[in-house]
Amino acid sequence: MPAKREVSADKFVFGCHRFGFGPAPGGGAVDLQRHVIPLVKMASELGIRAYDSAVLYRATLQLGQALQVLQLDPNSIRFQTKCLRYLGLTVGSSVEHQPEALLQGIPRRYHGLTDKWDASPKGVEQQICRERIEYGGDILHGVALHDPPDMEKQVGLNWDTDIRPAVSYLKEAKAAKFLKRIGLGIKEPAFVERFLAEEPGTLDYAGITFCPSILGPLMQIIKASEQQPFEVTLMGINYGQAFTLTEDPISAPPFLYNYEVATAEERALMSRFYRICGSTPLLHLAAAVAGLLVVHFPKTVTQIVTSTMTPSRLVETLRLVREAEVPATVWSELKAAELIPREFPTS
């Protein structure tokens, strides 16, 4: 049977964060042989040629090692990563900003390190060079500024001293052909418009953590891409775990919503989705929405980043993005409840 939605393999990007954070299936630390290599092999067999990582993920070395073991030329993949956040020693007042749920399987070599910020041009240079060395290829397909809105909340952000010099260094590296595209990797869609206004003509791709509940702001971003062209990368499709729940989110055990433990308000919002979806799993809705975005906005929505530690799940996610069914009645109820924008194309 032909796929319901034509989403070619080159639209999928494998997200590497679990190679660092884990946990491995069944819990515990990530192991190169048992966990990383089978996933990179499966991604390759599925036709996935792009990988998304970050210094923060503690993951890129494992990717590089897996490519080497599998005898896959690093220059045959498109590798994109992120900067600003780096790993430093847990000394002084350093604080871990990642939720506990994301810190379960970190390989031993990264123990005793925690996430820190360095937006200086030399800091950015060190970060992206380390990434290039670890994955093993000649160039970086993209470098995104990683979570500047989080930086603003945690340690403050001054555009002139933090963002502008980092961007100008990345432009220099792009002009020298060490990197191909400059992007954002963010959890807050509104930051895209701020970046476009402050750094006109710079943005090649906006990576936004994604799920159907942010379709409203996403449609605005797609509109903005018509004025100042840039691509949109969907960084995940389940907002962490929010769209994988199989019980009413109002009373489910703690889960991640946009990579933080869901609040009462977020649980209530997810519960509205859950009740309207009825027998359609939330997971299917999220996959269908991602597929529809790629099909209807092919110039702008060019990448779906997905991640798992279970190879069969990667197969399943690609299938769901192409084939998951959402009944017409569910779409219309979601629209009537204003959970999905009315203008969103559902077929």
Ligand X SMILES: NC(=O)c1ccc[n+]([C@@H]2O[C@H](COP(=O)([O-])OP(=O)(O)OC[C@H]3O[C@@H](n4cnc5c(N)ncnc54)[C@H](OP(=O)(O)O)[C@@H]3O)[C@@H](O)[C@H]2O)c1
In this chain, which stretch among 2-10, 39-47, 70-78, 233-241 interacts with ligand X, using CB under 6 A?
233-241
In this chain, which stretch among 11-19, 93-101, 268-276, 339-347 interacts with ligand X, using CB under 6 A?
11-19
Q: Provide φ and ψ at 136, rounded to 5°.
A: 100, 0
224 near ligand X, rule: CB under 6 A: no
Q: Which of 105, 307, 331, 334 binds ligand X (CB under 6 A)?
A: 307
244 near ligand X, rule: CB under 6 A: yes
In this chain, which stretch among 165-173, 195-203, 304-312, 337-345 interacts with ligand X, using CB under 6 A?
304-312
| C-alpha torsion sign, points 206, 218, 6, 317 | positive
Contact 209, 106 (CB under 8 A): no
Output the CA angle 291-295-296, nearest 5 degrees.
115
CA-to-CA distance for 144 and 230, rounded, in angstroms? 13
239 near ligand X, rule: CB under 6 A: yes
Q: Which of 52, 118, 162, 231 binds ligand X (CB under 6 A)?
A: 52
Q: Which of 107, 185, 189, 311 binds ligand X (CB under 6 A)?
A: 185
User: C-beta of 190: minimal distance to ligand X in Å?
Assistant: 14
User: C-beta of 91: minimal distance to ligand X in Å?
Assistant: 26
Q: Which of 11, 15, 134, 301 binds ligand X (CB under 6 A)?
A: 15
280 near ligand X, rule: CB under 6 A: no
Strand partners, 233: 207, 303
Looking at beta carbons only, is 134 or 147 nearer to ligand X?
147
The size of the interface with ligand X (CB under 6 A), counted in residues, is: 31
305 near ligand X, rule: CB under 6 A: yes
SS3 169: helix
CA-to-CA distance for 345 and 347, rounded, in angstroms? 6
Q: Which of 44, 271, 310, 346 binds ligand X (CB under 6 A)?
A: 310
235 near ligand X, rule: CB under 6 A: yes
Q: Provide φ and ψ at 256, rounded to 5°.
A: -90, 135
Q: Which of 5, 11, 17, 267 binds ligand X (CB under 6 A)?
A: 17
Q: Which of residues 281-300 bind ligand X (CB under 6 A)?
A: 283
Looking at beta carbons only, is 280 or 317 nearer to ligand X?
317
Q: Which of 5, 11, 49, 146 binds ligand X (CB under 6 A)?
A: 146
Output the CA angle 170-176-179, nearest 5 degrees.
50
CA-to-CA distance for 234 and 104, rounded, in angstroms? 25
Report strand pairing: 78-83 vs 142-146.
parallel
CA-to-CA distance for 214 and 341, rounded, in angstroms? 10
SS3 26: coil
Burial (CB count <10 Å: 0-12, 13-18, 19+), residue 159: middle
CA distances from 198 to 65, 81, 84, 111, 195 (A): 39, 22, 18, 37, 5
Looking at beta carbons only, is 224 or 286 nearer to ligand X?
286
302 near ligand X, rule: CB under 6 A: no
Q: Which of 107, 123, 183, 207 binds ligand X (CB under 6 A)?
A: 207
Residues in touch with ligand X (CB under 6 A): 15-17, 52, 82, 146-147, 185-187, 207, 209, 235-241, 244, 259, 283, 305-310, 313, 316-317
